[in-house]
Structure formats: C-alpha cells, structure tokens
Chain A
Amino acid sequence: MNKKWKRDDLIVRSLADSYLPIALVLGFYVILHGNISPGGGFQGGVLAASGVLLLYLGYGFKGVATAVNMERMHKLEAVGAIAYVLFAMLGIFCGYNFCRNVLWDSGEIGDVWSSGTIALMNYSVGFKVLTGVGFLLLLVIALLATGEDEEHSGTITTTEHEELERGKGK
C-alpha cells in the first residue's frame, strides 16, 4: 500500500458518513424482518458489520479503534451464541424438544412479531454475526495497521502474551 495515501480524504469521508447510517439501517432491517422476508440474521449481520469497514475507510484505524471496542465485541459474539442456545433451550424447559417454538401463536401472520422463538433466535444469530464479522474485520484492519508507526499506538492486543510484553515495555 502506498504509505503517502491520505486517509482523511474529504470525498471518501463524506461518502462514508452518508453510507454508514444506510448500511446500519439496512442491516438491522434485514435482521428484524428475517422471519417474514428474504434474508435473515446472518445476511443482516454481515450488512451491519460492513459499517466497520466504512468507518475504517473514512477515519482510518484510529477512528475505528476509538469508535469500537474490539475486546467487548469479541465477548458480545459469545453472548449472541449463548442467547441462541438459551432460546433453543426454552423448548426443553416448556416440556418439548430442543429448538421447539414455544411462542408460536404470537401475533398475526405477516407481522414482524409473529413467529415467537424463531424471531428471537434469528435476532441472536444476527447479533452474533454482526459482532463476529465485525470482530474479524477489525482483526484484519489491525493487522494492516501494524505497519504504520503513526497508527500503531491504537493496535489492540490479541493475545495475553502481547499484552505482557507491552506491560514490560512500559
């Protein structure tokens, strides 16, 4: 990559500014309507996670690092997965099988809230993919950023080992 290339290009930044809300809204729309329209948690999650990329294009690594907490994102991914299993477990708690839809008679057909547990599980998948793909993108971006001295300060530790080394350095 050409190191002289400036990230804070006005055009790129203003486009990122205007596309970021669209990406997020579209992503959350697809997640929310996953049970009644094409798409679903996975697709919506990936769309929303592209917001991370837009942030990077507009504001560089520093901008992403200040806007998003990578460690917390990593943990939230686990929360999404656990939420999925818990919603699936509702079936067992209510006396049916695993993954059974226990709130199936909720709402009118065609409403957003009409599919009971399915919608909840879909939202957890969306949350998990949003955070998971976002974390992956951040990881890739962090690897790209390590080459540049100016932005190196924002590197996020990926292993305890690195953290220890840094602690020693300080």
Chain B
Amino acid sequence: MTYDVYMHFPVIAIMTLFVGAFLVTLVGKRQAARNAIAGAAVLVSLTLLALLIKPVMVDGEIIMYWMGNWEPVEGYAIGIAIEVDALSLFFGLLITIAVACSAFYSFQYIKQDDARGSFFTLYLMLSGGVLGIVLSGDLFNIYVMLEVMTFAAVGLTAFRTWNPNAREAAFKYLVVGSIGSTCALLGTALVYAQCHTLNLAQISAILPGELNPTTVLAFALLFTGFGCKSFMFPFHPIAADAHGAAPSSVSVLISGVFTKTGVYGIIRVCYFLFRSMGLSSVQIMLVVIGCISMFVCVTMALNQHDFKRLLAFHSISQIGYILTSLGLCTGLGIAGGLYHAINHTLFKGLLFLTAGSVLYATGTTYLENLGGLAKKMPKTTALFLIGAFSISGIPPFNGFYSKWIIYQATFEKAAETGSIGYALVTVVCVVTSVLTLASFIKVGHSVFFGQLRPELAEAKDPPLGMRIPMWILGGLCVFTGLFPNVMLDYIIIPATGAVFNAVPYIDTAMGEGYAAAHLASTSPFVTPNYTLLGGWDPLAWLVLFVVVLAAVFLCSLAGRSNRDVNCAPDSKHAVFFGGEEAQYSHISGGDLFWGFKHTMRRYLGFVSGAHTGVTNDYVLWGVTATAVIIAYCFAFML
C-alpha cells in the first residue's frame, strides 16, 4: 500500500467535527472559546476536503482507508472502511462549504437565544454525521451516522424550546424520521444476510444481478429509508414544519446538507449497491417521485404565508428536480442532477440566511406582517435577489445552467426512448420553474418591496459577521453560474464518471480484477455523453441582461418627472377607498396571482387541506409510501 499524507484527510475531517463538538461542551459558557473551536473545526474540515480536489477530482485517484489497517482477508472486507471517490468528495465539498458559511453566520445569529452552549455541540455533531455518511465505505456506518445526524437535527429543530411550534415540529420530525431510519436498518440487515459483508464496494460487486425477493425487499427498504432522509414526496411535510421552526442557520443544514445525504444514499443504492438503474422500472419510479415532489411542493409553496415555510417547500421542489434528473440514468441527467445539487445548497443556503436576517431584524417571517424592507435593508435585499434569481433559473445565475441541463436531459431521454412521458417530464420541470419564479415574486414583493410598514421603521441590515457568509454564498452562486465549464470540468464530470463506473471503486477496495470477476454478468451502463443540444454562453446572456436592465433604468429615469415620487397618501384618492383616507394600502403577497389561484382553487384547496399538520397523518403517508414502493419493486423489478 502506498502511503500518502492525504490518505488521512477524510477521517481527520470527520473526527475534527466530532472532537470540536465535545470540546464545545467542555468550554461551557465561554462564548469566545466556543466560537473559536467551532470555527476552527469547520474550517479545518473544509480545508482538508478542498486539498483532496487535486488527487481525487483531477488525478482520478480513489482514497481507500481501512480503519486500524484491517484490510480484506481472503476476499472478504471485514474491517470498517472510508472510501472517497469523486462522488463522495463532491458531496463532502458541498456539505463542508454550507456548514462553514452557516457556522460563521450562527456566531452572531444565535446571540439572542438562550441555551447557546449546546447549539454548537449539536451543530458539529450534525455536520460530522453528514460528512461521515458521504465519506464512509461501510453500509452499517452509514446507518449509524444517519442516526447521529437525525437526532442532532431533531435537537436543533427544537432548539428554540420557548416556541411550541418548534417542539411540535421536532416531535413530528422524530416520529416520521424514524420510519426512514427503521427502513434503512432493515434494508442493511437484509443486505448483510445476503452478502455476508457490509463493505459498499464488495456489496456492489457481489449483489448486482441477483435480484431475488430478499434483495428486492432490501432495495425497496433502503430506497425508502434514504428517500425519507431526502424528504421526497410523501415525507415532505415534516421538512416544512422543521424549517419553519428551526433557527435559520440550522435550516441551511437541514435543507442544503441533510437532504443531500438522502440523495447521496439513493445514488449509492441505485447506481452502486444494486446497479438497478438499468431497469426502466426503477428509472420511472425515481422520475415519477421526483416530478410529484417538485410539482406538489411548488404549488404548496405558492400558498404559504411564512417566509421560511415557503422556502422549505421550495427546497423539496428542488430535491424533486435532482431526483428526476438522477432517475434518467443518462450522462447529461446525472451531471444536471449533481450540478443542481450543489447549486441548490448554495442558493437555498443564501435564501435561508436572508430569511434569518429578516427574522433577526424584524422578529417575524410572516409575509403579511412584512413589507418595504428594501429601503431599510438594501444589502440583504441584494442578496435575496441573487438567491431568488438563482432558484428561479434566471441567467446568468447558477440555477439556470443546471435547470437547462435537466430540461435537455429529459428531452433527450424522451427522444431516446420515444416515450411521450419523458417529454411531459420536461413540461413539468419548466412549469415548476415558472411557478418558482412566481412565488419568489410574491416573497420579494411582500417582504422587500412595496410600501414600508410603519412598525418596521427600526429595521436595519444585519451586522457584518452575518453578511460575510451570505456574500460568500452569493458570490459562489454567481461564480457557478458564470463559469459552468470550470465546475463541469473539475467537479461535476469526475463525479458523474464515478457514478457511471463502479469498477474502480470496487477494485480499489478489493484488489485489481475483483470487479471483473464478479460483475461480468451485469451489463455496464452506457458511456456518458455530455454534449448539450444548444449552446449556453453565460457572458452573452449577461450582456443581454445588462442591456435590458439599462433600458429599464433609462425608461424609469425618463418618466421620473411625471411621477409622484413620494407616493404620499393623497386626499384626492380617498374617493376610491370608500371616502376614507387610506393611511396604509400595502398590496400583500397573498393578493398576487389571485386570478391563477382562483382558477386553481380546487386543486390548491385540496393540496392545502391534505397537509393537516397531524403527526398521525404524516406517519400514515410515510407508511403508505413504504408499502407502495415495496409493492412496486416486487411487481416490476423481479
């Protein structure tokens, strides 16, 4: 075995976070020491993973690390492994970036809260658990880390214990989340019974091609387990509750990081362990679940009256994009899905942090109580606009490029298979994107634009310590949108290649030729093809954007003299308001798109009514989903 220093980096990156969590407990009430430890822990783990980009992403190396040097004996991997290929590193990087930004934001943000001592313990535990999942090469370790992560997240959701909503949300999260954990554990046990090993690489070599009832059940259970962790369709209401109640910096983790472990798990299960993505039934299952998630959640988001709940539903909607794209099983599809995964972490992180800043400044996130904050919080407004443009897929921001790839991937899949269904998927994707834009117009209008509410006159931008992490995320949103080729070449394409080709992953762990000896019976996936139908030149779009913006600006300047700039309430308008003087007439966000909402009232009413907020109902949904997925797998996979 060749010895390199960077072999130790993954395990140290995970352990730094855990040791940081315990050290935070030790220093107790000293706030400066607490912040220093937490900041150092997240920065060290970010740096260590960033140093791995060169060997793993560029040189295509796979880091295989046997804990305690327990290497495989006689073809059986008994030891616990950490295996970092390009896919693991991709998720590890996006996790550590979000964790670092959010941690630095929290230093200032949680100053208003009590029980600050335990915040960073749980926060670092959650980060360590998440990082452990994506870097681990052992199925049972993934389950253990899943539990660490879930319980830390439940604790953080209930962090503001004075808020009854937070306690309720944490309880729902605990109950529904344990459905997912149970499914994952049962699936792991069945896989272990079948393969007599828990090493991911060895299972990936032995298991594929042996679809008997046990393995199909294991597949369905693992899929549901990780799907629950990614909050896919029937599990989504708990995410909305949790995001609404948790502190914003925790929402960043739950939305941007926690859900990604579910996506990562689904990729590992479908593309590696069972290699079942070649079956069209599995592809259709993922695509359908993705489409339902994105459409249902975006329509739910249109109806929300709370900033953070709205963002939460959008979060699941974007996860729907990722699942759909991953379900296509084409090079373009996976590249689009992974690209959207990193973009989602960046822009949703940014949006949750702006929501947190609004809460910090005004004490509320209820859309009807906000308005006109652009005058008081211009910097936050600028950041919100970056995030909103990114998530709505407006060029030149990053959401556009990944959505563009996803549209093309679905369309190419339709052309390839000749089925009208995949063309419909493209339509659903585009419609969802439009509805996303619509709901962000609603948020922008009711929070940042329009008339300033009199009671918000005291609001001001958050302190610099909170703005810097937001600017970093905003800058990354713009960077990933403007230089997609850099992202594709160095990050996305290596990760996509790793998804398609499990052979190096298996061979690095089990020795040369192991994969060839065991995998011969299963057909490998088609070589990925990344060519896009149409060109996307971000600079050309940026020029167009600037020209349009300049034109709008000029027009508005030209009409300035004719306009009543002050917009002061004028008694001459009183007749239009029933003869009384209108003191305040803010058009609230709920008033926008009333025509659309009225036309769709049956559907929207039905969807809203279905989200009862009762834990029992959500458990019923979860159990039903598990049953349906198991039945589907038995019907179409065997």
Counting CB contacts under 8 A, is B414 at the interface?
no
Closest to B114 in A: A161
* Contact indicator B18/A81 (Cβ below 8 Å): yes
Q: How many residues belonging to B are interface residues under a CB distance threshold of 8 Å?
A: 24
> Which positions 8-25 of chain B face chain A at CB distance < 8 Å?
8, 11-12, 15, 18-19, 22-23, 25
Q: Does A85 contact B (CB under 8 A)?
A: yes
Query: Is B465 in the interface zone, CB < 8 Å from A?
Result: no
What is the 8 Å Cβ interface bit string for chain A, positions 65-102, against chain B (1 contact, 0 not)?
Answer: 00000010011011101100100110110001111110
With CB as the reference atom, state the residue of chain A lying closest to B80: A99
Nearest Cβ on chain B to A80's Cβ, whole angstroms: 9
Judge whether B611 is part of the interface by a CB distance below 8 angstroms: no
Residues of B within 8 A of A100 (CB): 68-69
| Interface check B65, CB cutoff 8 A | yes
Q: Which residues of B contact A164 (CB under 8 A)?
A: 114
Contact of B19 among A82, A97, A98, A161 (CB under 8 A): A82
B66 / chain A contacts, CB cutoff of 8 Å: 97
Hey, which chain A residues are within 8 Å of B18, CB to CB? 81, 85
Is there a chain A Cβ closer than 8 Å to B117's Cβ?
A: yes
Instruction: Tell me whether A108 is interfacial, beta carbon within 8 Å.
Output: no
Taking the complex as formed, is B29 at the interface, i.e. its CB lies under 8 A from any CB of chain A? yes
Q: Which of A71, A101, A160, A164 has the most CB of B within 10 A?
A: A160
Across the two chains, which residue of chain A brings its CB closest to B29?
Answer: A160
Q: Which single member of B25, B65, B67 contacts A74 (CB below 8 Å)?
A: B25
Within 8 Å by CB of A78, from B11, B15, B23, B161, lies B23
Contacting residues of chain B (320-338) with chain A, CB-CB under 8 angstroms:
none
Q: Which residue of B lies closest to A82 (CB)?
A: B22
B542 interface residue, CB < 8 Å from A? no
Chain A residues closer than 8 Å to B22, beta-carbon distance: 78-79, 81-82
Are A98 and B26 in touch, CB under 8 angstroms? no
Across-interface contacts of B67 in A (CB, < 8 A):
97-99
Minimum C-beta distance from A108 to chain B (A): 22
B17 to chain A, nearest CB (A): 11
Contact of B69 among A77, A85, A88, A97 (CB under 8 A): A97
Cα-based distance from A74 to B117 in the complex (angstroms) = 12
- Cross-chain contact A98 with B115 (CB below 8 angstroms): no
Instruction: Give bound CA distance, A92 to B19, whole Å.
Output: 16
Whether a CB of chain A sits under 8 angstroms from the CB of B453 is no
A160:B69 contact, CB within 8 angstroms: no
Contacts of B23 in A (CB 8 A): 78, 82
**List of B residues within 8 angstroms of A101 by Cβ:** 68
B378 at interface (Cβ–Cβ under 8 A)? no
Residue among B7, B26, B68, B117 with most chain A CB within 10 A:
B68
User: How many whole Å from B378's CB to the nearest CB in chain A?
Assistant: 34
A71: B residues at CB distance < 8 A? 28
Asked whether A98 lies within 8 Å of B68 as measured between CB atoms, the reply is: yes
Question: B116 in the interface, Cβ–Cβ < 8 Å?
Answer: yes
Are A96 and B69 in touch, CB under 8 angstroms?
A: yes
Distance from A90 Cβ to chain B, minimum over Cβ atoms (Å): 11
Give the chain B neighbours of A98 by CB distance below 8 A. Answer: 8, 11-12, 15, 65, 67-68
- Which of B8, B15, B26, B116 is A160 in contact with, Cβ under 8 Å? B116
Q: In whole Å, how far is A100's beta carbon from the nearest beta carbon of chain B?
A: 5
Partner among B7, B8, B19, B115 whose Cβ is within 8 Å of the Cβ of A85: B19
**Given A85-B15, A85-B19, A98-B11, A160–B68 Cβ distance below 8 Å?**
no
List residues of B whose CB falls within 8 A of some A CB: 7-8, 11-12, 15, 18-19, 22-23, 25-26, 28-29, 65-69, 80, 114-117, 161
Known contacts A88-B15, A97-B8; 19 further A-B pairs (Cβ under 8 A): A74-B25, A75-B25, A81-B18, A82-B19, A82-B23, A85-B19, A91-B68, A97-B66, A97-B69, A98-B11, A98-B12, A98-B15, A98-B65, A98-B68, A99-B67, A99-B68, A100-B69, A159-B161, A161-B114
Provide 8 A-B residue pairs closer than 8 Å at the C-beta atoms, listed in order of the A residue.
A78-B23, A82-B19, A82-B23, A89-B15, A92-B12, A96-B68, A98-B8, A160-B116
